[in-house]
A and B are shown apart, each in its own frame.
Chain A
């Protein structure tokens, strides 16, 4: 019995951390190219409503996820045009994108307020899923959870093993040097930004299609912001992003467990609900104190517009 509680907490933790991993890894790629997109919250919201609406209308989960991805990518494309082509300020544009996305998704989502999607079956991996305690959490998950792990592996390989990844890091580090040895800085930044948007869209769709298969206005609930903070405090390293995301998920589940357990405690529920955010930030601040790690991993040109002199 004890084991099954642990197992379900672990299970829920992984599920809660998954959208953060997907969104934060996408933003990590964008930021590694030197683009700071603060619009993750808005892109996730648009991904969530697009995913839900398309799944609901077509009855296809995968069309929904694709739709969410497209919505996020489109939002980030808008952002890229403003900051990369028109040289707008990245911080201001990103904030505007967040506000736009949250508001627009609420508007589009009005007709879907009281609708519910069918729950999606988990994919059980034969034999492995029967391992006690860790079997269920690791090997009987929904498809997007497996996707987040594959994404993590792919991004580690891309950044540190592949040449395009090397070029991407170079662009984020010094766009002028990258330009002078002949790389198309603006085009690379466009691609990285749009990738980041697409991942934010998938993360949003995960929330509305898989996690809680319904649409509620404001359901992204600050996860976009947490994802951005995760990337920074994880000092732009994929593994730490993953750790941070699960930490967030873990505290989220633990506080829900406490709130739901009916224990008589004199702590306001609002404080408990804010714990995951607080705990994640504190832990990540502590592990990101090392100046050398920051210096080695932070994209130097982050947030700065770059215009090649023709």
Chain B
């Protein structure tokens, strides 16, 4: 992969002793790495290891406190992102830098130099997105796009600038396996054309498949360099987290009990003009099983979750039956009283109130569990509940009085999961349980879900991470274009089949009348 002689001229980017200190934490300490022309270079590490900070310094969003950066052999001080872009550095952010009230073309235009003509740009976007299999409609408003679609916009925005170095921060978390393969083809093609790629990830298999070289970060420091194809996932994991990768205990099937959630021809028109309408969704989740729902984001998951949680009511009360009770017209609180637990995808703002303390956040869903005395809050009880949740679910935080937004994503997710699990729901709906969560916390959360199911809770997990669904689910179904596939036992299917279904093509195998109709 590095056939040209590896002299220093061939180096596109070189970092020497980069250090960045924030008031409370050392984000990077003496980090050095070098990227050759046309090389796909992995930066591997857990959430919070300092990968994103390092990339932001390369892209000029923040500046290092110490250290040197060389670009094509010359020492540079990247002043700002525009400077970085003029050097030929492009970046796809993990937390998207998109503007919700603007449409796709406007968003792309904001990242380009000069004053591009928007109509012409729209054509370019369509062209690039087709070439790389990243379909986006340039006229759509970003707030109506799903997480996955937003990421495509970010990627297309970068590709339009013909970068010499492309930084990709966790790009695959929202793609189907087929789309990941296509993206990898694109990246390899870019690399062959001489573009260097910095690929940030915590997914070992992807790095092994794609990357030529890897630099591993832990707690802001480089813990090693390696050639992924010569390593095992185990050896890379130990570099990354300092111990072996925890694997959740395997799924021994539990005896199934009664149906806890039934969806009977659930139909719901989306309020959002760009949303997905739910069509005739049939589903059953029984006590003691985990049903996983796969799908590329933006195919009706949001609408389904709103309908399940009760944040939006459906017309027909009987189309959602929770623990035997027709609940389609019930508000979220009544559904919770009936035994429903709910963990939304957005932790801050929907799962928890960012500026409220953990205690107060615990009260939000636990107030039925004996926390109130004639409408007055029993503060000692609720604090005890919060402490129990923190201790029982390994939440790393300063204490139960700290604000929700002071926790890392993984710890907050553990807290929210813990809050719901401690309430002993009969039916638990979880969206994206481990999105943006570090490997250790993710394994912990999955194990908790499995334990809960072993105790007889019915669990519905909606996730865009197929590996995760295959790890924890008993049955798996796919949502595509607002319609739900039949659920399959895990043993009877595989990632390739589910991946295919994610593009809406399940009726070809088992075509029945209704689905053929839907195609007409």
Contacts and interface: CB of A to CB of B under 8 A. Distances in A.
Interface of A: 163, 166-167, 169-170, 173-174, 176-183, 292, 295-298, 300, 309-310
A300 B100 contact: yes
B99 A163 contact: no
12 contacts: A163-B109, A170-B102, A170-B110, A174-B98, A177-B99, A178-B97, A180-B61, A182-B81, A183-B110, A292-B273, A296-B101, A300-B100
Nearest to A161: B118
The 7 closest A-B pairs by CB, nearest first: A182-B81, A177-B97, A182-B82, A173-B99, A180-B97, A163-B115, A182-B80
B141 interface: yes
B97 A297 contact: no
B60 interface: yes
A27 B118 CA distance: 28
Chain B CB count within 10 A is highest, among A163, A176, A183, for: A163
Interface of A is mostly: helix
Given A166-B110, A180-B81, A309-B62, A297 B101 contact: yes
Given A167-B110, A180-B93, A181-B110, A173 B85 contact: no
B63 A310 contact: yes
B100 A173 contact: yes
A292 B272 CA distance: 8
Nearest to B60: A182
B174 to A, nearest CB: 18
Contact of A181 (B101, B102, B111): B111
A174 B100 contact: yes
A166 B60 contact: no
Given A174-B100, A182-B60, A295-B101, 20 more contacts: A163-B115, A166-B102, A166-B106, A169-B99, A169-B102, A173-B101, A173-B102, A177-B96, A177-B97, A177-B98, A178-B97, A178-B110, A180-B56, A180-B61, A180-B93, A180-B97, A181-B81, A181-B110, A292-B273, A298-B101
A69 to B, nearest CB: 29
Contacts of B111: 181
A274 to B, nearest CB: 35
A167 B82 CA distance: 14
A58 B79 CA distance: 48
Interface centre among B82, B83, B84 (most CB of A within 10 A): B82
Contacts of A169: 99, 101-102
B101 A300 contact: yes
A145 B102 CA distance: 32
Interface string B46-65: 00000000001000111100
The residue among B99, B109, B115 with the most chain A CB atoms within 10 A of its own CB is: B99
Contacts of B82: 182
Which residue of B82, B98, B110 has the most chain A CB atoms within 10 A of its CB atom?
B110
B101 A179 contact: no
A99 B63 CA distance: 41
Interface string B85-109: 1000000010011111110001001
Contacts of A296: 101, 141, 143
A176 B56 CA distance: 13
A292 B141 CA distance: 12
Contacts of B56: 180
A298 B96 CA distance: 20
Contacts of A180: 56, 61, 81, 93, 97
A176 B93 CA distance: 12
Contacts of A179: 61
A298 B101 CA distance: 9
Nearest to A298: B101
Nearest to B80: A182
Residue in A166, A181, A292, A296 with the greatest tally of chain B CB atoms within 10 Å: A181
A223 B82 CA distance: 42
A96 to B, nearest CB: 25
Interface string B382-398: 00000000000000000
Contact of A170 (B62, B99, B141): B99
Residue of B93, B97, B143 contacting most chain A CB atoms (<10 Å): B97
| Most chain B CB within a 10 A radius of its CB, from A163, A177, A180, A296 | A180
A92 B101 CA distance: 28
A182 B80 CA distance: 6
Contacts of B106: 166
A167 B63 CA distance: 23
Interface in B151-203: none
Interface string B103-126: 000100111000100000000000
A308 to B, nearest CB: 9
Nearest to A177: B97
Contacts of B100: 173-174, 300
Contacts of B143: 295-296
Contacts of A178: 97, 99, 110
A238 B28 CA distance: 47
B182 to A, nearest CB: 26
Interface in B396-437: none
A121 to B, nearest CB: 42
Contacts of B273: 292
Nearest to A164: B115
Contacts of A182: 60, 80-85
A178 B82 CA distance: 11
B97 A181 contact: yes
